Amino acid sequence: MHTESVADDAREALLAKQREINALIHDLTDLLDTAGDSANRSRGDRYGLSTERHSQAGTLQELHRQAHAITRALAKIDEGTYGGCDSCGSTIPPDRLEFRPWAVLCVPCAAGT
């Protein structure tokens, strides 16, 4: 059936993205753990580094959000609700899912929170 093949394609894309995100989270967590040490070593870069560190922490937070959405999207495939909005139940446009396979909310719901 057509919807099943869409979900199968999405599952492949989501699993690949999940591996990518987990690797990025791992790298960034390591980087943030060691950033404190290098700040002590080069005082001149302290302000630049702390700004960079702040943005890396923000990126890490964003990656965790995305990892969470991917997990939820995979669960929705298993539930058979993939492609439906988690909040209002309306259908998520296929071109949105193609661009963001991990989308679990329709555009208005994603924008409204």
Is 10 or 105 the residue whose CB approaches Zn ion more closely?
A: 105
Q: Determine the residue type at 108.
A: P
Q: Could you say which residues in the range 67-96 bind Zn ion, by CB under 5 A? A: 85, 87-88
Interaction of residue 110 with Zn ion, rule CB under 5 A? no
- Taking the complex as a whole, how short is the minimal distance between the CB of residue 93 and Zn ion, in angstroms? 11
Q: Which is nearer to Zn ion, 6 or 109 (CB)?
A: 109
Name the residue among 58, 67, 68, 74 with its Cα closest to residue 12. Answer: 74
**CA–CA dist 53, 69 (Å, integer):** 24
By CB under 5 A, residue 35 contacts Zn ion: no
CB of 96 to Zn ion, least distance (A): 11
Name the residue with tokens 């993939």. 82
Question: From CA 33, how far away is CA 70, in angstroms rounded?
Answer: 25
Q: Rounded to the nearest whole angstrom, what is the least distance from the CB of residue 1 to Zn ion in the complex?
A: 24
Kindly state whether residue 103 participates in binding Zn ion, applying the rule CB under 5 A: no
Q: Which burial class, exposed, middle or buried, applies to 7 when counting CB atoms under 10 A from its CB (0-12, 13-18, 19+)?
A: buried
Task: Kindly list the residues in this chain that would bind Zn ion in the complex (CB under 5 A).
Answer: 85, 87-88, 106, 109
